[in-house]
Amino acid sequence: MKAVILAGGLGRRLRPLTDDTPKPLLKVSGKPIIVRQIEWLKKHGIDEIIICAGYLREKIIKELGNGCKYDVKIGYVVEDQPLGTGGAIKNTEIFLKNEMGFYILNGDVLTNLDPNELRSIGEKYIGSIALVHLKSPYGIVEIRGEEIVRFREKPLIKEYWINAGIYYFKPQIFKYLPDRGDIEKETFPILAERGLLKAVKYENVFWKSIDTHKDLEEAEKYI
């Protein structure tokens, strides 16, 4: 089983840490984000990994090599200019077009969810998206009339689900991908309109996207 890790972003919101270190190599509890992702994939039987690398790619390649030290196979697809998530995935078509299916994940996501649950999509769907509950960025105040009855610190808002940045696709996805642009903006709206995407909901799992310094600190504390 193969997976693609999208690791080409600039990590602007994590500067100055990302001035000379690509975001996937930032460490959480002493280990780079992307190494934790590789170990997570391997745990779930996914041992062939394609890394879409752009910004400071030579450092990612030097750190990970061919994957033998992690007991996986790693290959690279590089982009000289940012192509967006959709364009980056399209670049992998030559390696994945003959697969029954494959995983895609953003290179800044840490989680313990089971990705194999994404594979049961039947004939109807082109792919599936892992969904997790939206977590409030703020503490909330519960009231009864004009009386404050409880404070809750950054609760999960269980009425809403968010894209966890982890996908499973059939090769048919490639005909919907832009040469340049983001899959979230260019592809998903079309597939959703045509009823070709399956929602796979995950509850009671750890999930964290590392976008800011605060995210990095929170992931460090959790792990």
Which one from 31, 154, 185, 201 is the annotated catalytic residue? 154
Query: What is the SS3 string spanning the chain?
Result: CEEEEEECCCCHHHCCCCCCCCHHHCEECCEEHHHHHHHHHHHCCCCEEEEEECCCHHHHHHHHCCCHHHCCEEEEEECCCCCHHHHHHHCCHHHHCCCCCEEEEECCEEECCCHHHHHCCCCCCCEEEEEEEEECCCCEEEEECCEEEEEECCCEEEEEEEEEEEEEECHHHHHHCCCCCCHHHHCHHHHHHCCCEEEEEECCCCEEECCCHHHHHHHHHHC
201 is catalytic: no
**Residues involved in catalysis:** 154
